[in-house]
Amino acid sequence: MHSQTPRKLVLRTNQPKRVQQTPPTRQRLDSSSLQTVGFPLLLLPFIILTTKKHNNPPITSDQFHYKSLAVIYICIGILMSVQARLSAMGKLEISFILFTPISLTQLFFTPIFARFVNKIKFNRWVVISLVFAIGAGALTFTSPFGGVSYNREHKYARGVWAALFAAVCFSLLLCNIQNVFDSYIFKRTESTTRKPSFASVFEVIIFSSLVATLISTVGLLIAGEQHGLEREMNGFPKGKGAYVMVMVGQAVSWHLYWVGIVGLVFSVSSVLSNVISVVTWPILSLLVVVFFNFRNFTGEGDDEFDIFKGVSLIPAALSVAAYFFRLHKENRDSVN
């Protein structure tokens, strides 16, 4: 990997830099841990929001829901951990050109799961939005957004299955999170004048990430790699300080990502959340080029601003526009 990779990975919310000759097992564990380990950063905004909404306590304060939510958070945390591990494995063992279309299958799985789990109804505008989102995601295959495989000889069979099941797990994750909101948070406030608080978004992320982090930590200890992390930090080309900054930056980026994704599920639906998560791929690829290696506009460097990155922004915009037009029509019809 080139020397500029750590800076790019912070923005891309991707797996950490694969230091040369670092075993892929530890890299999978590091990558999956980084997706959830930053949950303490959300404690302060969660406390502030719950304090402001003192008349609307967090959902766990309801004794009737406490046991059910504990089980649900454990299940979601397990799903988050499995999805992160499978995704990291897929990125390390197959090429990005193959990883991208497999990851896009989540746009097929999410509507199917949402139809049965969340009882979401679809119309042609949702289908159009999904088609444009698939097009936008597919056009990012020229950028190593998902990372570069560790081995020269790609383990296609295992990597393909890992990427596919990661997409399935991500779709299930979004639908189950929406089910938590629909079945517990919204129903709890139906008989009152209180409105669901955005603090519930932080609560779902914090408790689920806690479970996922515990699972990743246990996996790290079982693999016996806890001492290897220090060696990896000492051997980082840019020094210990840069290594820590990269890790912290990725942890922060991941939780900004989770707040956005879960917030969209809370505000709209799991389907729109999945659409937005995919259409941001070309946007992030563009931002990487603009802010971290602007010389690539002249054709220099290894992450060029090619025609695919530019064209992918068009279906991304059309995908979002189609879905919001559907929401606009639904709101207009409900008023009439």
User: What residue spans define the domains of the chain?
Assistant: 21-330
Assign residue 265 a region: left if phi > 0, alpha if psi is -120 to 50, beta otherwise?
alpha
CA-CA-CA-CA dihedral for 168, 13, 285, 108, to nearest 10: 10
Q: Give per-residue pLDDT as tens, 274-332.
A: 999 888 888 877 777 776 654 444 344 455 566 777 788 888 888 888 888 888 887 77
The answer to whether the beta carbons of residues 186 and 39 sit under 8 Å apart is no
In the chain, the amino acid numbered 59 is I
Q: Does 132 have pLDDT greater than 80?
A: yes
Q: Does 5 have pLDDT greater than 80?
A: no
Q: What is the pLDDT of residue 110?
A: 93
In the chain, the amino acid numbered 10 is V
Please give the residue that has the higher pLDDT: either 53 or 324. Answer: 324
Residues 6+ apart with CB under 8 A from 84: 31, 32, 33, 35, 36, 212, 216
Residue indicated by tokens 């406390």:
47
Q: Give per-residue pLDDT as tens, 148-191.
A: 444 444 567 888 899 999 999 999 999 999 998 888 777 655 54
Q: Does 192 have pLDDT greater than 90?
A: no
Residue indicated by tokens 């930056």:
249
Residue 191 DSSP symbol: T
